[in-house]
Amino acid sequence: MSEKQDPFNAPFGTLFGDHMAVATYVDGVYDYPGAAVPLENFSLHPATHALHYASECFEGLKAHRQPDGSVAIFRLDDSVARMIRSIEKLRMTPPSAEMLRQLIIDATTANASFTPDAPGSLYIRPTFIGTAPNIGAAATPSTEAMLYCINSPVGDYFAGGVRPLTIFIETDMPRTTPQFGSVKSGANYVMALGPTLDAKRDHVADQVLFASGDDVTETGAANFFLCDGERLITRNLDDSFLHGITRSSILQIARDMDMEIEERSIPVAELRAWAEHGEMFLSGTAAVIAPIGTVITQGETITIGDGQPGGTTLKLREALTDIQSGISEDKHGWLTPLNS
C-alpha cells in the first residue's frame, strides 16, 4: 500500500504498512533480530503445525495520531500481557514481555507514517504461529514458532461509521468452547463465523450476541454493555469470553465519571427489559464503542429507545477516543509514545 491510499475507502484490515517485525522460537529460545524488516510473504512448510492444529493466537491494538503529529500506542502493556496468556493457553512458551513489547514497538514505529488522522488509526496485529513441520503433532505443542507484528491503517470497522447496529441474540450455541473463551486464537473466530453468517442471512443482523445458557456474553469480536445515565452493566470476567481491553478502559472511564458499575451475569430477559428504558453497545479495539439500535430475540425485533445511538453511549465513546487521540489527559498512563 502507498501512504496515499485512503483507509476510509478500503475495507478494514486490507491495507498494510510496508514493514513487519519477526522473531523465531527454535530449540526453546526466542531469537529477535531487534529491528523491523520490509513486509514480505513467508515461506512455510505445508506441514506447519498452525495450519493443521490451530496453534495460533494474536492481538489487536491500535496506535493513534496525537495533536502534535506524533503517534502513540493505546494500552500496549495490556495487550502484551494478554498475548502471553494466550500463548500459554496454547501450551507454548511465550517470549518475555520485554521482547514482545519491543517487537510491537519496532514494527509500529517503522509503519508510523501510515497512521491516518483520527478517527482513523494504525491497527497493530502481533501474531504467533506454531511452525514445526509435523502433522503427527496433533496432541503435542509445536516445538517451533514464529512471532511477528504487522500494521494496518484503518478507518471504521463497521461500514457506515457510527450507526446503530442490529444484533441477533443466539441462545443455543456458545461463541467457542468454555476453556478457550478468553484466548485470542483464530480458532475461536471461525467457530463464531457460521452462526454470524446465518444471522446476517436470516435476520439481516450485523452481529450475533452469544447468550447460551441464558448468559449474555459477547459477540464474535466485541464485548457487550448495558447503560443508562447512571449505570453501566457488563458480564463479569471468567474464562468464557475475551477480556476486552476496551471493556476495561470503558469501566475505568465510567468510574471516573462516577457512574455505578455492575460486573455480573446478564440474563436475556433483563436485556429485553432494558430495551424499554436504556442503551446498549458493543466495545472492542476495532469497533471502539458501537451503539446497538435493534435486538432480535425469540422471534421478536426490539428497538432500543428510538433506535438511535444513546447519549451515554456517545459520551463514553467520545471520552475514550479523546484519550486515545491525545485530546484529553492520559491520566491512567494508557498511551506509549513512539519515537519517530
Ligand X SMILES: Cc1ncc(COP(=O)(O)O)c(C=O)c1O
Closest CA to 71 of 21, 108, 46, 31: 108
Stretches 122-130, 163-171, 245-253, 297-305: which one binds ligand X (CB under 6 A)? 245-253
Tell me if 164 contacts ligand X by CB under 6 A: no
Using N-to-C axis directions, what is the helix angle for 245-256 and 76-89, rounded to 10°?
140
Stretches 29-37, 159-167, 243-251, 323-331: which one binds ligand X (CB under 6 A)? 243-251
> Is residue 70 within 8 Å of residue 340, measured between CB atoms?
yes
> Is residue 220 within 8 Å of residue 208, measured between CB atoms?
yes
Beta bridge partners of 291: 281
- Tell me whether residue 132 or residue 192 sits nearer to ligand X (CB atom): 192
> Is residue 121 within 8 Å of residue 115, measured between CB atoms?
yes
Beta bridge partners of 146: 24, 129
Tell me if 286 contacts ligand X by CB under 6 A: yes
Minimum distance, C-beta of residue 217 to ligand X, in the bound complex (Å): 9
Tell me if 284 contacts ligand X by CB under 6 A: yes
218: Cα separation from own chain's centroid: 12
**Three-class DSSP category at 37:** strand
- Tell me whether residue 131 or residue 283 sits nearer to ligand X (CB atom): 283
- In the list 19, 64, 101, 247, the residue contacting ligand X (rule: CB under 6 A) is 247
- Tell me whether residue 32 or residue 225 sits nearer to ligand X (CB atom): 225
Tell me if 242 contacts ligand X by CB under 6 A: yes
* Count of Cβ atoms closer than 10 Å to residue 36 Cβ: 22
Residues 46-105 contacting ligand X, CB under 6 A: 60
What the block records as the C-alpha cell of 249 is 478502559
Minimum distance, C-beta of residue 214 to ligand X, in the bound complex (Å): 20
Minimum distance, C-beta of residue 286 to ligand X, in the bound complex (Å): 5
Minimum distance, C-beta of residue 37 to ligand X, in the bound complex (Å): 27
Note the residues at the interface with ligand X (CB under 6 A). Answer: 60, 218, 221-223, 242, 244-247, 283-286
